[in-house]
Amino acid sequence: MADAEPNLHVANTTAPEAPAKPSLRKRLLTGIAGAVLIAGVGYGGWYALVGSHYISTDNAYVGADTASVTPMVAAQVAGVAVSDTQQVRKGDVLVQLDDSDARIALAQAEADLAKARRQYGQTSATSAALAAQVQARSADISRARAQLVAAEADYEKARVDLARRQRLAPNGAVSGEELTSATNAFSSAKANLELARAGVAQANSTRGAATGELAANNALISGTTANSAPEVLAAQARVDQARLDLQRTVIRAPVDGVVTRRAVQVGQRVAPGAQLMLIVPINQLYVDANFKEGQLTRVKVGQPVTLKSDLYGGNVEYHGKVVGLSGGTGSSFALIPAQNATGNWIKVVQRLPVRVQLDPKELAEHPLRVGLSMDAEIDVSKN
């Protein structure tokens, strides 16, 4: 009996505690449900007041409009002044080409220019000589006309003398010899008259030829000078081209940036248009952020963007603005675009690149490189 009492006491002490377990579990579940409810309400309020004003993506990458360095003339490379990863300023010498051929071409063009100017001077002098010839031919015409007048007078005198002797010859007043002499004189005077007329015609023709030559020569120099004549201008253009080709043997940086993909060596012969290297303008970088098509409803040009780079982590923020949306999705411009006209088509959410312009001052403080990953967040509440 003594042993039974403790067992009975234990039973009496444990029986009232059993109903407390369901009450504790209920309170715990109720607390969790309340916490979830409060969190949901809080998130809903935060999203309605703040979160709905922003869209974000981690599918964003740094880009740049790189400058391709290409030669304008064909020549052998005499020297390369830069290497990959080297930072250059606009105008810095990148590559020196052998300029021997260009110097020879310039000297030849300058000689052609001097020859063209000398020919212009010769043409001008020829005009003066032709003008003198025209004046000389005019004097020849005057002399020929004077000879014609004399020949006409001689002809008229010989004709009168012959006519008088012919009237007197039947009466025997004129001898046959005198009549014959008068007839010969008349024939000679007539021939001299025809010769004088031909001389006048020839003098006129010679003056006409000289006048035509003068007009043709003047047409070559009319309204021009030694610097504006067409032949001189053409020669000057060849000189300018040769001088430009000589300048182009020194290849300079077109923009500020960093050298990358250098593909030129000393001794290599390069052709016009061959890519020698790229210059990445790291102070003019931008970001292409690929947002889902459902996020772009309220995206507009000019909206502010906050960005973070994996290179510096979350402690460094970049600020930019939306400058435009791409003309097509990334998949539409892929090398092998997706073909959706099939029986097993499955809809895939597309992404559209949004171009974001970065602040140059922030880029100078924390430089980026092309291809780095970025996190982008657009404030779509701003118009």
pLDDT category of residue 46 using cuts at 50, 70 and 90: low
Burial 139-159 (b: 16+ CB within 10 A, else e): ebbeebbebbeebeebbeebe
pLDDT of residue 184: 83
| 3 state SS of 254 | coil
pLDDT recorded at residue 10: 44
In the β-sheet with 277-280, what is the strand arrangement from edge to edge? 67-69, 277-280, 257-260, 87-88
pLDDT, residue 338, reads 67
Band of pLDDT at residue 2, cut at 50, 70 and 90: very low
Edge-to-edge strand list for the sheet holding 269-270: 250-252, 93-97, 75-80, 269-270
Check if 53-79+280-383 and 102-243 are the same fold: no
Tokens of 187: 């024939």
Inter-residue contact 288 to 56 (CB < 8 Å): no
DSSP string covering 41-83: HHHHHHHHHTGGGEEEEEEEEEE--PEEE--SS-EEEEEE---
Task: Tell me the average pLDDT across 8-18.
Answer: 47
Residue with the bigger pLDDT between 332 and 253: it is: 253
> Is there a contact between 54 and 380 (Cβ–Cβ < 8 Å)?
yes
Q: Is the pLDDT of residue 340 over 70?
A: no
Beta bridge partners of 376: 57, 307
E-only strand ranges, the chain = 54-63, 67-69, 75-80, 87-88, 93-97, 250-252, 257-260, 269-270, 277-280, 286-292, 304-309, 313-325, 351-358, 373-379
> Cβ(282)–Cβ(95) under 8 Å?
no
Phi/psi of residue 287, nearest 5 degrees: -125, 135
d(CA 183, CA 161): 9
Q: Please give the CATH architecture assigned to the domain spanning 102-243.
A: Orthogonal Bundle (1.10)
Top-confidence residue, 35 or 312:
312
Q: Domain spans of the chain?
A: 53-79+280-383, 102-243
- Give the chain's mean pLDDT: 83
- In the predicted structure, residue 316 carries a pLDDT above the cut 80: yes
CB 261 within 8 A of CB 150: no
Contact 234, 119 (CB under 8 A): no
Q: Which CATH number fits domain 53-79+280-383: 3.10.129.10, 3.40.640.10, 2.40.110.10, 2.40.30.170?
A: 2.40.30.170
Q: How confident is the model at residue 206 (pLDDT cuts 50, 70, 90)?
A: confident
Tens digits of residue pLDDT in 101-146: 999 999 999 999 999 888 878 777 777 777 777 777 778 778 888 8
